[in-house]
Amino acid sequence: MERAYLGGGCFWCLDALYRRVRGVVEVTSGYGGGHVEGPSYEQVSGGASGHAEVVEIGFDPKVITYNKLLEIFWHIHDPTTPDRQGFDVGPQYRSIILFSDADQKKAAQQSLKEVAQPLWGDRVVTELKPLQQFYPAEDYHQDYFNKNPQAGYCQAIINPKLAKFQKEFASLLKPV
């Protein structure tokens, strides 16, 4: 199993979408890209820890590639808005790819140039940064959408993204 670390707004959205992709074995919501050890949600949401909300995606590269995960990433969030995704505002919601080795770095750079920029234009602000440490978020953040489908955020924000995602990437979805 390989791992990818991506941040594109609230981790609940990315978690809900990537859990539905064939080849994705596990998804963990958490924090990365900051300078505080073992940050709490309160520290991250306050903006002072430097962390972004990210997901750790464990995937089987024989079923889905890192490049395909990146392609999905560019389509499911807006990488042109610094420190913001929709109504979620702050540095914890920035677009970020945390790469774990030189191959992932090269793939992310290439994907940004060949997929993100043609899709969104030249003003892509996604941060590419080496993974230093990933910190899993508190338990109540894990698999949030599936555990809380009636929550307001899930209904208003995640459901529309999920519907668009399922239509656009139908061929990549796990069987129901």
pLDDT 10s digits, 151-163: 999 999 999 999 9
The model's confidence at residue 176, banded by pLDDT at 50, 70 and 90, is: confident
Contacts of 9 (CB under 8 A, 6+ apart): 53, 77, 84, 85, 86, 88, 93, 95
How crowded is residue 145: how many other Cβ atoms within 10 Å of its Cβ? 20
Distance, in Å, from the CA atom of 111 to the CA atom of 35, rounded to the nearest integer, reads 27
The model's confidence at residue 7, banded by pLDDT at 50, 70 and 90, is: very high
For all residues of the chain together, what is the average pLDDT?
Answer: 96
Judged against a pLDDT cut of 90, whether residue 21 lies above it is answered with yes
Task: Out of 4, 6, 10, 112, pick the active-site residue.
Answer: 10
Contact 33, 127 (CB under 8 A): yes
Residue whose token pair is 């995640």:
158
Q: Name all domains of the chain by residue range, CATH numbers in brackets.
A: 2-171 (3.30.1060.10)
10 is catalytic: yes
Distance, in Å, from the CA atom of 5 to the CA atom of 98, rounded to the nearest integer, reads 5
pTM attached to this predicted model: 0.96
**Residue 86: its pLDDT value, please?**
85
**Residue 87: its pLDDT value, please?**
85
**Residue 76: its pLDDT value, please?**
94
Asked which of 120-124, 148-152, 166-170 is least confident by mean pLDDT, the reply is 120-124
